[in-house]
Amino acid sequence: MLTSVTSVVRNSPRFSTDDAVRLAQEYYGLRASAEALPSERDQNFLMRHDAGRQFVLKIANSEEALEILDLQNKVLTFLASQETGLEWPVVTPTRSGNLVVPVGGDDGPAYFMRMLTWVEGVCFARVPHTPQLLASLGEALARTDLALGGFEHPAAHRPMHWDLRQAAMARAHLELLPESRRHLVEPIFAAWDAIDWSKLPFSIIHGDANDYNILVDEAGARVTTILDFGDMTHTATVCDLAIALAYVMLDKQDPIAPAAQVVAAYHRVRPLTVAELDAVYTLAATRLAMSVCYCAFQSRQAPENEYLNISNRPAWEVLEALSAMPSGWADDVFRRACDHDRSGELLAQRKQHLGPSLSISYREPLHIVRGWRQHLYDASGRAYLDCVNNVAHVGHCHPAVVEATCRQAALLNTNTRYLHEELAEYIARLSATLPDRLSVVYLVCSGSEANELALRLARAHTGRDGVIVVETAYHGNTNALIDISPYKFDGPGGRGRRPHVRVVPMPNVYRGMHREADSGPRYAQYVAQAADGVAAFFCESALSCAGQVMLPAGYLLEAYRAVRAAGGVCVADEVQTGFGRAGSHFWSFAEQGVVPDIVTMGKPIGNGHPMGAVVTTPEIAASFANGMEYFNTFGGNPVSCAVGMAVLDVIEREGLQENARDVGEYLVAGLWELASRHEWIGDVRGQGLFVGFELVRDRVTLEPAADEASEIVNRAKDLGILLSTDGPLHNVIKIKPPIVFSRRDADFLVGRLDTVLAGLR
């Protein structure tokens, strides 16, 4: 078929507007002005009659067969007789009662002419694709398909190169695609191969519901008609929907969610069978794959036609976006879209059965059903750039981590009282990431367990109780840790500071008591003053709950010196900051040029698998081995060790520490650039992909802009970005994404923040 593409263009009719005026008068008795409408293949004229009536005079390509025009006329008459709720063009007979007449032809080819009434409306391409409009499109297509189920015409049983069933015709041109892009379409054709067409209902379909063939009402809320039946064919009915979806996905930053809205609305009117639901996404993607293949073919036929490449860019963009999604995701979303929305039910169940002290994020809670790399996906198919999940460190659902979990879970999962290769290898590997003196590892199941154990180690080693912590610190959820977490004991419901706890000022050079960049040692003085008789100084290597505060140079060096001089132990809480996030170093304490006595780990260590670890010196470990056994049922089990090992492997293999450094620097620069245009941003700070920016109402008084920070977080969510606030004044927006975060993600984030900030009053 396609070999005729160029000849089809060559054989397109070339009538003038004067000809059209004459033909309308001669054949239809219509006095009207003529305006040529764009068409590559045929000629269409908008005919305006003085009395306001309007028609389209259609002169078909000379290659068009009469029976195809008859098919198009018949279908319009048929649809007009059905309850579709849509307005269809009426086929207007000539004065002698013909619906198709041959014109021209004396010394050239003859063309077939028809006239239809003009349907008013706005092009779907020209209006915003609101959820309401997308639903209306789904319903309109479904009603059309339902009606066409009762329509028959022999001419529709023809091979059509755009018919999705004929995708092999397009695939034949695969080798014309740039080699670097073939991987985007090959899996789609492979999935197409697997479709069992015998399971799909067949009927005649419109087959070309593209943005320019769909008209909507003035308000842009409702689809009023679907035009141009030139691609009509008898094929699997679901192809009609799939083709519309291919177009709906174009030029969408997040293509699946809008497509799912169309699917859901379609399904309400014409319920999709299981087989149709299984196939519809593959078919929609196939349409795009066919489109780029045919385009490559046409470009080769007409290399001078730059338009072909430009018009194809949106299809490539969607294909790229689709290939970045987790496999099977779109099918999953489409299936969910046809179920009822469960979020209300889930919220009610949660309220009834879950401890009420756990909050839920966002004004309108998210129902997240899938994670992949740095994105989370909600039940409606929307993708969110996850800028806060520092647990899914190497990316949500990293295949290597998932594989390690499954492999080891299928082999053995038991406690650590037996010899296991997994355990031996993992503890050796983990301690190798640390300075030599930190060589003894305890494996636990959470950051809290790690800090709880660190506290016991420090107390056993020093024979003391007291602990120094930094203002607004959080170290975990156990009794003992709440007592050393000012974030909790000084917050709502807290019972205040216990006598054994000493709180030192937050070394915050932006709004703390000393604001010079070199005030690290001055802040360390407060630690020195509190050090007498304490067991331990607990400090994060960059302060998270305190609002993404970077420690000023010299702080830990001086503080550790003072604590050790007083006989205490220095604990680095690396639960949030470890495992390469800091970029320049694998452990954030290294930024401060110190070696702690105890390091505690959690969150990223298992990429979501519940794990934690404490690493300390042989001396401290010896003090703890006082006869009482430390047994942890789950800590260090072979599955956890396999997972931990996989995480370390991925960080190394994918160069993620280096990525955190590169993208972190890039992001911070982007945020400073934003700050140069938005007064709201008072400070930007970060190390690698541990980043924050602080919102103020006044850059001199530093009046915190907490409401605005929360507003930004909620609005960013609506734009597809997940962020959260923190800090004692709730005015810091923290950014600590999976460290596979890319420069492109940083651009997206900064761009969206720009929009949100510009919208703040």
Q: Residue numbers of the site for ligand PMP (CB under 6 A)?
A: 446-448, 451, 474-477, 540, 544, 573, 575-576, 602
Task: Please state the closest distance from residue 753 (CB atom) to ligand PMP, in A.
Answer: 24
| Residue whose CB is less far from ligand PMP, 28 or 586 | 586
CA distance 168 to 174: 10
| Residue whose CB is less far from ligand PMP, 209 or 454 | 454
CA distance 408 to 403: 8
Distances (CA, A) of 442 to 358, 423, 428: 29, 11, 12
| Residue whose CB is less far from ligand PMP, 441 or 571 | 571
Task: Please state the closest distance from residue 690 (CB atom) to ligand PMP, in A.
Answer: 11
CA distance 435 to 206: 69
Q: Please say whether the beta carbons of 40 and 9 come within 8 A.
A: yes
Closest-approach residue to ligand PMP (CB): 447
Task: Please state the closest distance from residue 573 (CB atom) to ligand PMP, in A.
Answer: 5
| Residue whose CB is less far from ligand PMP, 377 or 690 | 690
| Residue whose CB is less far from ligand PMP, 316 or 474 | 474
Q: Please say whether the beta carbons of 386 and 722 come within 8 A.
A: yes
Residues 6+ apart with CB under 8 A from 306: none
| Residue whose CB is less far from ligand PMP, 474 or 586 | 474
- Which helix (H) or strand (E) segment holds residue 55: the answer is strand 54-59
User: In the block, which residue shows the tokens 């070309």?
Assistant: 208
Q: Please say whether the beta carbons of 603 and 576 come within 8 A.
A: yes
Among 477, 367, 355, 409, residue whose Cα is nearest residue 643: 409
Task: Please state the closest distance from residue 743 (CB atom) to ligand PMP, in A.
Answer: 27
Task: Please state the closest distance from residue 473 (CB atom) to ligand PMP, in A.
Answer: 7
Three-state secondary structure string covering 208-242? CCCCCCEEECCCCCCEEEECCCCCCEEEECHHHHH
| Residue whose CB is less far from ligand PMP, 99 or 543 | 543
| Residue whose CB is less far from ligand PMP, 335 or 585 | 585
- 3-state DSSP assignment of residue 493: coil
Three-state secondary structure string covering 92-108? ECCCCCCCCEEEECCCC
The 8-class DSSP code of residue 445 comes to S
| Residue whose CB is less far from ligand PMP, 149 or 494 | 494
- 3-state DSSP assignment of residue 406: helix
Among 360, 698, 694, 742, residue whose Cα is nearest residue 543: 694
How wide is the angle at C-alpha 128 spanned by C-alphas 291 and 290, nearest 5°?
A: 5
CA distance 372 to 333: 14
| Residue whose CB is less far from ligand PMP, 286 or 451 | 451
| Residue whose CB is less far from ligand PMP, 125 or 590 | 590
Task: Please state the closest distance from residue 237 (CB atom) to ligand PMP, in A.
Answer: 51
Q: How many residues does the chain have?
A: 761
- 3-state DSSP assignment of residue 378: strand
Task: Please state the closest distance from residue 252 (CB atom) to ligand PMP, in A.
Answer: 35
| Residue whose CB is less far from ligand PMP, 237 or 592 | 592
Task: Please state the closest distance from residue 262 (CB atom) to ligand PMP, in A.
Answer: 40
Helices (H) and strands (E) in the chain, counts: 24, 26
- 3-state DSSP assignment of residue 530: helix
Task: Please state the closest distance from residue 226 (CB atom) to ligand PMP, in A.
Answer: 53
Task: Please state the closest distance from residue 538 (CB atom) to ligand PMP, in A.
Answer: 9
Residue 626 CB: number of other CB atoms within 10 A? 7
| Residue whose CB is less far from ligand PMP, 291 or 390 | 390
Residues 6+ apart with CB under 8 A from 386: 371, 374, 375, 376, 392, 396, 722, 737, 738
Amino acid at 45: F
The two structure tokens encoding residue 754 = 């720009």
Residue 11, phi then psi, degrees to nearest 5 = -90, 15
| Residue whose CB is less far from ligand PMP, 173 or 459 | 459
Task: Please state the closest distance from residue 508 (CB atom) to ligand PMP, in A.
Answer: 16
Task: Please state the closest distance from residue 650 (CB atom) to ligand PMP, in A.
Answer: 20
| Angle between the N-to-C axes of helices 520-530 and 555-565, in degrees from 0 to 180, rounded to the nearest 10 | 20
| Residue whose CB is less far from ligand PMP, 207 or 596 | 596
Task: Please state the closest distance from residue 610 (CB atom) to ligand PMP, in A.
Answer: 8
| Residue whose CB is less far from ligand PMP, 295 or 691 | 691
CA distance 626 to 620: 11
| Residue whose CB is less far from ligand PMP, 544 or 607 | 544
Distances (CA, A) of 134 to 60, 190, 262, 638, 697: 32, 29, 5, 50, 40
Task: Please state the closest distance from residue 739 (CB atom) to ligand PMP, in A.
Answer: 16
Task: Please state the closest distance from residue 466 (CB atom) to ligand PMP, in A.
Answer: 19
Three-state secondary structure string covering 614-642? EEECHHHHHHHCCCCCCCCCCCCCHHHHH
Q: With DSSP H G I counted as helix, E B as strand and the rest as coil, what are the percentages for the chain, rounded to 5?
A: 45, 15, 40
Task: Please state the closest distance from residue 633 (CB atom) to ligand PMP, in A.
Answer: 16
- 3-state DSSP assignment of residue 375: strand
Task: Please state the closest distance from residue 545 (CB atom) to ligand PMP, in A.
Answer: 6
Q: Please say whether the beta carbons of 470 and 537 come within 8 A.
A: no
